[in-house]
């Protein structure tokens, strides 16, 4: 799974193996070995690859089919959500710099706050969809 998704994401971003290798500070042969399954990246490299390829480690490993969301985020998406809703949600999460009294929260505190915010985000989307009149073809 990893080798296929790595190659697919690299090509979709129009990157050569050499360019991707430069971006993650490794050699072209290393990227080639990952894509052929000859070797597997360590956790740090996997994270770097996901960042450069603008995706998640979960997607590269096959834990989710959505390149924009982690498996946990994908499971929390309600049935009514469409593609735009999911893009809005991803943007929402990326924009959040969680602090209290100007002091950054720990990762655990941030995860709890973002979990509450996620619930509120989807509840607001659900309520807005109920209020919005259905579109009609005329």
Q: What is the pLDDT of residue 34?
A: 93
- List the structure tokens of 84: 């735009």
At residue 19, the pLDDT reads: 94
For residue 38, what pLDDT is reported?
93
What is the predicted pLDDT for the residue at 42?
Answer: 92
Q: Report yes or no: 96 and 117 within 8 Å, Cβ to Cβ.
A: yes
Reduced to 3 states (helix: H, G, I; strand: E, B; else coil), residue 135 is coil
Structural domains of the chain ordered from first start = 2-61 (1.10.260.40), 76-131 (no CATH)
Q: What are the pLDDT digits (tens) for 1-39?
A: 888 889 988 898 899 999 999 999 999 999 999 999 999
Looking at residue 29, what is its pLDDT?
96
| 17, 11 Cβ separation under 8 angstroms | no
pLDDT on residue 130: 73
Task: Write down the pLDDT at residue 134.
Answer: 60
Q: 26: buried, middle or exposed (CB in 10 Å: 19+, 13-18, 0-12)?
A: middle
pLDDT tens series, the chain, 138 aa: 888 889 988 898 899 999 999 999 999 999 999 999 999 999 889 889 988 888 878 778 887 665 655 555 555 667 677 777 767 776 666 665 666 677 776 766 766 666 677 777 777 877 887 776 666 555
Per-residue confidence (pLDDT) for residue 96, from 0 to 100:
58
Q: What is the 3-state secondary structure (H, E, C) of 53-85?
A: CCCCHHHHHCCCCCCCCCHHHHHCCCCCCCHHH
């Amino acid at each position: 799974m990893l080798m296929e998704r790595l190659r697919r994401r690299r090509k979709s971003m129009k990157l050569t193996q050499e360019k991707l290798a430069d971006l993650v500070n490794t050699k072209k042969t290393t990227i080639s070995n990952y894509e052929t399954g000859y070797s597997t990246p360590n956790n740090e490299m996997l994270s770097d690859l996901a960042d450069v390829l603008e995706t998640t480690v979960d997607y590269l490993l096959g834990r989710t089919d959505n390149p924009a969301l982690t498996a946990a985020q994908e499971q929390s998406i309600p049935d009514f959500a469409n593609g735009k809703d999911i893009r809005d949600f991803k943007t929402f999460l990326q924009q959040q710099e969680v602090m209290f009294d100007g002091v950054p929260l720990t990762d655990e505190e941030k995860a709890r706050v973002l979990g509450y915010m996620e619930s509120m985000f989807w509840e607001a989307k659900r309520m807005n969809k109920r209020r919005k009149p259905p579109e009609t073809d005329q």
